[in-house]
Amino acid sequence: MRFVELKSQEQLDIQTLHRVRSRLVAERTNLINQLRAILLERGVIFPAGRRKFELGVDEMLVCDDEKLSPRLRQLVGDLRSEWRELDVKIETLNGEFVALARKDPAARRLTSIPGIGVLNATALIAAVGNASSFAKARDLGAWLGLVPRQHTTGGKPRLLGISKRGNTYLRTLLIHGARAALPSLSQSDTPLGRWLKAMIERGVHRNVVLVALANKLARIAWAALRKETTFERGYPVAA
């Protein structure tokens, strides 16, 4: 039986900020998808990517485009204004997370880890505190659902896909962080970089490498929280 520690008031506040930000990001994504679909029905196509779409819509609203009726142009302008408001709210919350990470020693230690940014660090602290609930680093990875599910029968173990148990939001952030850090880490001459290059050279699928790196980052984060140390790039990495 695993006992869960009660969260402090500060942890609950940070967790609530993350939940609000996640909802705002989802609303912005839905709005962008709807706006792109509306314009696509009128034969107006934009390149993939949020920034390119944003610039394209702004340019279209400035220019006189006969493909859009006056009412539809007004509607697109209203949606674009709503998009800007969501951007402002999200950036305001991002600024709060940056301020929290700067004044929190544990968050500063976590941000020294490649792939662990301000969002990951504050979300980890809100979820696990000082990680004292986990006796070992691999317990945190298992709690986040970053380890394979195991199906054993007849004494023959069989590893399946990752279990995807635990905190979905935190697991998603860690995988996004691993995706951002993988290109630079895999080219670095460090124990972590050599470990990644060995997997890539063996032909391991990229998604498997990303999940393995996310699990590794979670273990390193556990050590940073429990031992109160910053990440050292030359530190040996266990396989």
Residue 57: inside a domain: yes
Residue 2: inside a domain: no
pLDDT band for 65, please (50, 70, 90 cuts). Answer: low
As a whole number of angstroms, the distance between CA 59 and CA 74 comes to 14
Three-class secondary structure of residue 188 per DSSP: coil
Residue 34, C-beta contacts closer than 8 angstroms, at least 6 positions apart: 79
Residue 65: inside a domain: yes
155, containing H or E segment: none
As a whole number of angstroms, the distance between CA 23 and CA 56 comes to 25
What one-character DSSP code corresponds to residue 229? -
Percent of the chain with pLDDT over 70: 92
At 211-225, the pLDDT tens digits run 999 999 999 999 999
As a whole number of angstroms, the distance between CA 142 and CA 215 comes to 9
At 68-101, the pLDDT tens digits run 888 999 999 999 999 999 999 999 999 999 999 9
Residue 10 backbone phi and psi in degrees, to 5: -65, -40
Neighbours of 157 (CB within 10 A): 9
Q: Which carries the bigger pLDDT value, residue 161 or residue 58?
A: 58
Residue 232: inside a domain: no
pTM beyond 0.75, yes or no: yes
**39 is written with which tokens?**
């314009």
At 129-185, the pLDDT tens digits run 888 888 888 888 888 888 877 777 777 776 666 777 778 899 999 999 999 999 999
- In terms of residue numbers, what domain contains 148? 9-152+159-227
Residue 56 pLDDT: 92
Number of structural domains (the chain) is 1
The average confidence (pLDDT) of the chain is: 88
As a whole number of angstroms, the distance between CA 233 and CA 185 comes to 10
Residue 13: inside a domain: yes
As a whole number of angstroms, the distance between CA 145 and CA 166 comes to 6
Residue 182: inside a domain: yes
Residue 122 pLDDT: 95
pLDDT band for 239, please (50, 70, 90 cuts). Answer: very low
Residue 234: inside a domain: no
Residue 189: inside a domain: yes
Amino acid 165 reads R
